[in-house]
Amino acid sequence: MADYELFELGDVRLQRGATIRNAILAYKTYGTLSKNKDNVIVYPTWYSGQHYDNEWLIGSGMALDPARYFVIIPNMLGNGLSSSPSNTPPPYDKSRFPNVTAYDNVKLQHRLVTEKFGIKTVKLVTGWSMGALQTFHWGCLFPDMVERILPFCGSAKCSRHNFVFLEGVKAALTADAAWNNGWYEKPPTKGLRAMARVYAGWGFSQAFYREQLDIKSLGYSSLEDFLVAFWEGFFLPKDANNLLTMLWTWQNGDISDNETFRGDLDKALGAIKAKAIVMPGQTDLYFPPEDSEYEVSKMPNAELRPMPSIWGHFAGGPGLNRTDVEFLDKALKKLLAS
């Protein structure tokens, strides 16, 4: 009774050399594709999120209104629904699942959009966090196809500081002996809980904790309750190898790391023809606005519009704070109307 579809990709040669046999891309669509196929929005998922985790931004009366648009949410490789360590048969299972890049992800999403649906233009690509990374990729890899992009709380390239933050997350998870280099039978729960606690300080801003929004807005009964129920509860059900696969994708995210741009980030940013709003969170600790500012300075048709929020990275998702959702939704509406 899955609520999503599978697109069978056959054997997929990845950017870093491995091949996934019988690769699958799990996706879900919302709304109806118009006769002219001109009402398409692509909305990739974020780190460990699955399609339903994106649904908070879709709805009647919202920018992403299924009555108007055909919204496609492709699940990221490694997220447990598309090809992942947890669902790939041997010999590429578990710890042997290959390194996949955001480039790989977006190339396969492009196949879904074109081969499955015969779509030639995309009205908008948008996404949060790693979804923003994929959004930037769409913009520079398919500049004549993508009309608009709105990446929020993310970047076109993983910054060095962001990389270091993720090193900490990874080190906490893999410090658990039960992880066993990925060959666990039972989940490395101690590592997953440790990873969650490391993430907790990064996900929300200093001001968020100062104002006790974990209690006063989100309704947790104490700080420790927030750490256990929200954070540990978030990571515990997830597969460690999947998490590490997506973490690698994140750390190695770079729109210029491919044959087209050969490491020239400015050139890749400059190749994005789409009308763009780049929306960092004002208090995001791992995607600080300064990085977005640089990106916008190199994009020909982009505007920087930071979210004035103290919700840190979670200003961008998954729909926790109504004010932030409204800010984002309003920008999406204006961008779609332009």
- What residues act catalytically? 129, 284, 313
Does 279 sit near its own copies (CB under 8 A)?
A: no
The residue range among 29-37, 43-51, 56-64, 176-184 that interacts with its own copies, by the rule CB under 8 A, is: 176-184
Position 131, amino acid: G
Q: Does 267 bind its own copies (CB under 8 A)?
A: no
251 scored as a contact of its own copies (CB under 8 A): no
> How far is it, in rounded angstroms, from Cα 18 to Cα 92?
9
Q: Is 298 in the site for its own copies (CB under 8 A)?
A: no
- Residue 202 in contact with its own copies, rule: CB under 8 A: yes
Of residues 205 through 224, those in contact with its own copies by CB under 8 A are 205-210, 212, 223
Nearer to its own copies, 297 or 301 (CB): 297
Tokens, residue 212: 């006790």
Question: Which residue's entry shows tokens 């048709």?
Answer: 301
State how far the Cα of 146 lies from the Cα of 100, in Å rounded to an integer.
Answer: 23
Nearer Cβ to its own copies (39/292): 292
Candidate list 51, 94, 137, 193; residue touching its own copies; CB under 8 A = 193
Percent composition of the chain: helix, strand, coil (DSSP 3-state, to 5)? 40, 15, 40
Q: Rounded to the nearest whole angstrom, what is the least distance from the CB of residue 25 to its own copies in the complex?
A: 32
Rounded to a whole number of angstroms, the minimum distance from the CB of residue 292 to its own copies is 12
240 touches its own copies by CB under 8 A: no
Crossing angle for the helix pair 130-141 and 240-251, to the nearest 10 degrees: 50
Strands (E), 14-65: 19-30, 40-42
- Parallel/antiparallel/unpaired status of strands 40-42 and 124-128: parallel
Contacts of 114 (CB under 8 A, 6+ apart): 120
Phi (first) and psi of residue 80, to 5 degrees: 100, -20
**Minimum distance between the CB of residue 290 and its own copies, rounded to whole angstroms?**
7
- How far is residue 163's CA from residue 290's CA, in Å, rounded to a whole number? 16
CA–CA distance, 45 with 41 (Å, rounded to integer): 13
Out of 99, 121, 159, 260, name the contact with its own copies by CB under 8 A: 159
Rule CB under 8 A: is residue 160 a binding residue for its own copies? yes
C-beta closer to its own copies: residue 104 or 232:
232
- The CA distance from 6 to 94, in Å, is 21
Q: Which residue's CB is nearer to its own copies, number 264 or number 293?
A: 293
Comparing CB distances to its own copies, the nearer of 35 and 210 is: 210
Is residue 146 within 8 Å of residue 40, measured between CB atoms? no
Nearest distance, CB of residue 239 and its own copies, angstroms:
17
Query: What residues make contact with its own copies under the rule CB under 8 A?
Result: 159-161, 163-165, 167-178, 190-191, 193-202, 204-210, 212, 223, 227, 285-286, 288, 290-291
